[in-house]
Structure 1
Amino acid sequence: MVAPLHIGLEGISFSYPGGHRVLTDISFAVPSGSVTGLIGENGAGKSTLLGLISGELAAGSGTLITPPTTGFIAQETSLPFTEPASTLIDAAVNELRQVERDITVFSERMATEPDDEALAADFDRALARAENSGVWELDARIASILAGLGLANVALSTPLGEMSGGQRRRFALATLLLRPVDAMVLDEPTNHLDDEAVDFLIGELRVFSGPVLAASHDRYFLDEACDGLVDLDPSLGAEGGFGEDTRQGARFSGSFSDYLRARQSRRDRWASDYAAQEHERARLRAAAEQSAEDVFHSQENKTETRAAAKFYADRAAKTVGNRRRSAENRLDALERSEIPAPPARLEFRGLPPHTATSLGLPAVVAKQLSVDDRLAPLDLKVQPGEQLLVEGPNGSGKSTFLKILDGTLSGFDGELVMPEEMSVARLEQDDSWQDLSRTAEEVFSTLVPAGSPTLVEMGLMNEDQAATPLADLSLGQRRRVSLGVILASPPDLLLLDEPTNHLSLILAEELETALLDFQGTVIITSHDRWLRRRWRERMSRGDSRAKILTLSTLWTDEVWRD
């Protein structure tokens, strides 16, 4: 029997104890040589699906096919902390080292058994595998992998317990890349990788001959590495189209950019179909309310006899009755299968008057602003209406800078000048809700002005999610509540700390689009390479509002990079 060269799922469903259904009838295939991205908001079932493929979980129904040697790297590693890194590397390449040892043994035996044809055949097979697997270049390969993932300066004698979480994670990724596997399954593979390491990983996946399935929120990675995407987010029907293939696990061909274009095309068709439906609804309602006078506009001839007048009146009544019944029947059929209105796009509502703009004052002026061991001295001037992207490695003080601006952190050196009348709000990197027992809508309604649209009306949640206690929502869903508060009552100065963290890919796209129309001042920090690339594209197109500030780290210790 020939071993499968693809990852295949057919009708896979899974429920956790208690009946909570996570996956429903998932069917897709990852062919050999393909890198397929697995996407969906937190809670959509990405990690669950990877657990099924790895064998950690058992599907309730359906068929799963994987190649015989499938390598996995989980989002959180469970490696022994007492072992040095060298043990991991040795274990990863042991199979290839064994080929090298076999060749040595076969070669020595052939010197004393030159006429043994079976031995010669074993030697030829081992030699061919060594050449195909790159056994002779294995040491150089190990060095290349470690350097590419930013581990060249970490001694292999270092115990895992003395490393940062990011270093352990990158060593786990290195072992997977070094192992001779037929397929790879990755969970958030770009976590803890800098830009250069991400590019290195993308290059490795491109030349891998087997199938790759990678769950990721990294839009840059999905765009550069993947030739197909599988969307597990059940909200695809509400966000991506109506009357299309909107099942959980819908597959899209191409990169993330292609995926976005496909969704937009679906939405355009949805909007067009909805507009045509509403036009037809209005026409049928008008037809259902027609009277005889609406149909027959001619005046009665004075010379007509009473019999003739009755004939025409009966004919008019019959005609009008038929038309009205036909219109009512068609209207009933339309309403039984009506197309819902496309959800509204995210937008900032209730925009403030921006008094700082009217006064002609800068929104932020900083002179030698710094915090010991957290933020290097910086000089900065931000004009009202400008949108500033603050970038830099972990430990460079991005979040510290925002906390100074919103008044959370007062212990700083240098000078900071901001108009007193300017309102300021910050979307924090990690939400810190005090009462998790209340529902999302209850919490939201207490934080926004009276008369504000609900979370459902803003397109941030469906009705079930809005009625769910915060304690039972995912990080991404709680993030939607915080975002809704900002959108419903935006300030003069909006501070966004890693705003795309925990957001679904589509919601992150909508937020970035909404920022283009926001007339207030924005200061945003982000490590999101997709967002940063888009920001530079804005600047190259001549968008005078878009600016960039790059902070340098005060730290050289590897832990700060992670």
Structure 2
Amino acid sequence: MAPASLSSARSTRASVTRPLVATGIHRTYDRAPVLDGVDLVVSPGERLGLIGENGAGKSTLLRVLAGVEAPDAGRIERPTRVGYLPQEVEHDAAAPLSSLIEDAVAPLRALERRLEAAASALAVDPRADAAYAAALDEAEALDLWSWESRRDALLVGLGVAGIPFETPLGSISGGQRSRLALAALLLARPDALLLDEPTNHLDDAAVALLQRELRAWSGPVLLASHDRALLDDVATGLVDLDPSRRSASGENGGGMLTRFGGGFSDYLIERALERERWEERVAAEERELTRARGALTGSARALDGPDRPPRDNDKFVKNFKRARQQSATSRRVRAAEQLVAELEASRLSSPPAVLTFAGIPTGSTALADATLVQLTDARIDSRLAPVSLRIGGADRVLVTGANGAGKSTLLAAIAGALALDGGRRTARRGLRVELLAQDVRFADPSATPRALYERAAGERRAETQPLAGLGLIAPRDLDRAVGSLSTGQQRRLALALVIARPPHLFLLDEPTNHLSLQLAGELEEALGGYPGAVVVASHDRWLRARWEERVVRL
């Protein structure tokens, strides 16, 4: 059944909502500053996408703005009712599903009681008309009398209508809990919305519903998302929480946040121009520094250079002139030294390296026209319907399908990591296959990225293509324990370990999840030139819309 048209797409809050304002927000964890002087204004009707590198503090900022965490310093002005959706929904495992809905509609039920009380008071005393009119206006703005039909439409549209209300929250999946929490949040109609990766567990129909809701929202909206299609469709602007890039490039005057107008496509254009300006400034500074060093060398040589010994009759004059010349030259040397020091201290760093893949190591035997893996009526009970698939040595394959269709299972079957319940898998002899899974786990959480990379790449390759040069792991994280890295940082490290020794067949399961927008785009571009076969399973609409190679739909 198609979801009903939601009334919130036609009706918005009648009252004027206040903006969401953050001034000078600071937040520190373990003595490390995560938010350092954040200033942000989200006005009513604005839908800002919050972007930035993994670990930049996006989730922290949302928690602070929502009041879940208190800032160490700074001031926040919020609208009366702020709705917040975290990535992982906190819940009482024994509580029924209905508790999420009841919490959401509690203000509506309270308003209903207040309206009834005001109507009763008005029947007795006509002077109570102001209180009744105020309650009636609020009830109409919140569409009080249709909340049950809106609830049903939201549950259907988000794909969770079939779960009985008495089902314990602990017995359903994390994705189902997230969709239920989103339905409850939209049903409650708060004045402002703060959303952390809201489309992580949504299929296309559910994303379309969310887009309609967000476009109709009259209050401030701030959403952290790696969903580039969503940002392009609904965002009125983007704010980039990445101070390291701005402080290095000198763009936008520094500060914690950089603001871009428009959606993600506009951001891509501006980011490309920013990198071009960054590279031009670095080149200009290097030229100026080279000239200053040359001037310093020339002045120093003049100061130390030989001079013809004076004759007796002009010894005094020569000594006097030479002293004056040496004094002037010394001043020039000091000035040149100061200029060089200032230029070296203020010089910009180069833009971060763009992700690139190195060639297949010597000794690999894969051929472009070879069959690497062949599946024939391969099936795994309750997880993968029978599928037949041939993968050649240079194939590019995109696997799509709804949640639960078996995309991850198919990749595991191609890799030979899961036994088949039926059908057959054949693979080329000597084939090397690597799977970049959604859930990355490292056997030794105390190991460092540098050590793991050197172990995977080998000493010679680690020297010629060091981990720091891949643009995946920040220099400050090279020697941290992998167990202390964020989910996104660990995923990037897992990708680096594949690049360390590129396989003949590279399988990627939802590769853009947990990656920054910039890295996701660079990864997709690099996959086009990968020296082997690539199979990608993804629900990413941006990636799917731009895929020009073979597609397998489950």
TM bucket normalised to smaller: 0.7 to 0.9
Matches of 1:87 and 1:61, distance apart in 2: 35
Structure 2 Cα separation of the partners of residues 284 and 73 of structure 1 = 55
Note the C-alpha offset of 1:23. Answer: 1.3
The residue that corresponds to 1:271 in the other structure is 279
Partner of 1:376: helix, strand, or coil?
A: strand
Pair 1:429–1:138, CA change in 2 (3 A) = closer
Does the Cα contact within 8 Å between 1:448 and 1:489 map onto a contact in 2? yes
Q: Per-residue CA shift, 1:226-255, capped at 9, x if unaligned?
A: 2222323344338x8345444323333222
Aligned mates of 2:330, 2:79 — CA distance in 1: 67
Q: How does 1:301-316 map to 2 (within 5 A)?
A: none
SS in 2 for 1:367: strand
The equivalent of 1:423 in structure 2 is 432
Secondary structure of 1:224 counterpart: helix
Equivalent residues of 2:25, 2:37 under 8 A apart: yes
Q: Which residue pairs with 1:559 in the alignment?
A: none
Equivalent residue, structure 2, for 1:119: 128
Change (3 A) 1:421 1:211: same
* Counterpart position of 1:365: 374
Are positions 1:247 and 2:255 aligned together? yes
- Asked if the contact 2:434/2:506 (under 8 Å) is kept, the reply is yes
Structure 1 counterpart of 2:51, from 28, 35, 39: 39
Asked if structure 2 preserves the Cα contact closer than 8 Å seen for 1:440 and 1:467, the reply is: yes
1:5 matched to 2:18: yes
Decide which moves more: 383-392 or 451-460.
451-460
Q: Is the 8 A contact 1:4 1:66 kept in 2?
A: no
Mean Cα deviation higher: 44-53 or 518-527: 44-53
Aligned partners of 2:106, 2:494: CA distance in 1, in Å?
49
One-letter amino acid matched to 1:425? E
Q: Is the 8 A contact 1:4 1:65 kept in 2?
A: no
Instruction: Describe the shift of the 1:3–1:104 C-alpha distance in structure 2 as closer, same or farther (beyond 3 A).
Output: closer
CA separation of 1:433/1:180 partners in 2, compared to 1, >3 Å: closer, same or farther? closer
Residues 450-483 of structure 1: CA distance to partner in whole angstroms, max 9, x if unpaired?
A: 3332222222223221011112222222222221
Does the 8 Å contact 1:470/1:478 carry over to 2?
yes
Would the aligned equivalents of 2:251 and 2:274 in 1 still touch at CA under 8 Å? no
Matched, 1:406 2:415: yes
Superposition deviation, residue 71 in structure 1: 2.0
Output the CA distance in 2 between the equivalents of 1:215 and 1:329: 45
What amino acid is aligned across from residue 9 of structure 1 in structure 2? A
Instruction: Assess if the C-alpha contact under 8 Å between 1:290 and 1:320 holds in 2.
Output: no
8 Å contact from structure 2 (residues 449, 482) kept in 1: yes
Once the two structures are superposed, what CA deviation does each residue of 1:319-376 show, in whole Å capped at 9, x if it has no partner?
9999988766654443232222222211111334764326x32333322122233222
Per the TM alignment, residue 154 of structure 1 is displaced from its structure 2 partner at its CA by: 2.7
Over the matched positions of the two proteins, sequence identity in percent amounts to 42
Corresponding position of 1:302: none
Whether 2:368 is the aligned partner of 1:375: answer no
Q: Which position in structure 2 is the counterpart of 1:133?
A: 142
Q: Which residue of 2 aligns with 1:69?
A: 81
Match of 2:212 among 190, 200, 203: 203
8 Å CA contact 1:3–1:68 kept in 2: the answer is: no
Q: Distance in 2 between matches of 1:209 and 1:3?
A: 9
The answer to whether residue 354 in structure 2 is matched with residue 345 in structure 1 is yes
What residue in structure 1 maps to residue 245 of structure 2?
Answer: 236
Q: Secondary structure at the match of 2:389?
A: strand
Contact 2:152–2:161 under 8 Å retained in 1: yes
Give structure 1 stretches of 5+ with no counterpart: 292-309, 540-545, 552-562
Partner of 2:525: 513
Q: Partner of 1:457: helix, strand, or coil?
A: helix
Count of paired positions:
520
SS in structure 2 of the partner of residue 193 of structure 1: coil
Match of 1:485 in 2: 497
Q: Structure 1's 324 and 177: CA in aligned 2 closer, same or farther, altered over 3 A? A: same
- For residue 172 of structure 2, the aligned residue among 156, 163, 176 is 163
Deviation at 1:172, TM superposition (A): 1.9
Match of residue 548 from structure 1: 551
Deviation at 1:171, TM superposition (A): 2.1
Contact 1:388 1:523 (8 Å CA) reproduced: yes
1:498 alignment partner, one of 510, 532, 536: 510
Partner in structure 2 of residue 300 of structure 1: none
* Cα deviations by residue, 1:240-276 (Å, 9 ceiling, x for unpaired): 8345444323333222222232222111101112223
Structure-2 change in CA distance of 1:450 and 1:242 (3 Å)? farther
Whole-Å separation in 2 of the counterparts to 1:60 and 1:102: 38
8 Å CA contact 1:236–1:246 kept in 2: the answer is: no
User: Alpha-carbon deviation of 1:548?
Assistant: 0.9
Letter in 2 for 1:550: R
| Secondary structure, aligned partner of 1:262 | helix
Change (3 A) 1:90 1:467: closer
How far the C-alpha of 1:130 sits from its partner, in A, is 2.8
Kept in 2, the 8 Å contact 1:352–1:492? The answer is no
Change (3 A) 1:463 1:126: closer
SS at match of 2:50: strand
1:260 aligns with 2:268: yes
Change (3 A) 1:361 1:164: closer
Question: CA offset at residue 97 of structure 1?
Answer: 4.0
Secondary structure of the 2:218 match is coil
TM-score w.r.t. length of structure 2: 0.83
Instruction: Write the distance in 2 (CA, Å) between the matches of 1:547 and 1:144.
Output: 36
TM-score of the aligned structures, taking structure 1 as reference length: 0.82
In the alignment, what sits opposite 1:528? 540
* Cα 1:325–1:234 shift into 2, 3 Å: closer
Inter-partner Cα distance in structure 1 for 2:73 and 2:191:
25
Between 91-100 and 270-279, report the one with greater CA deviation. 91-100
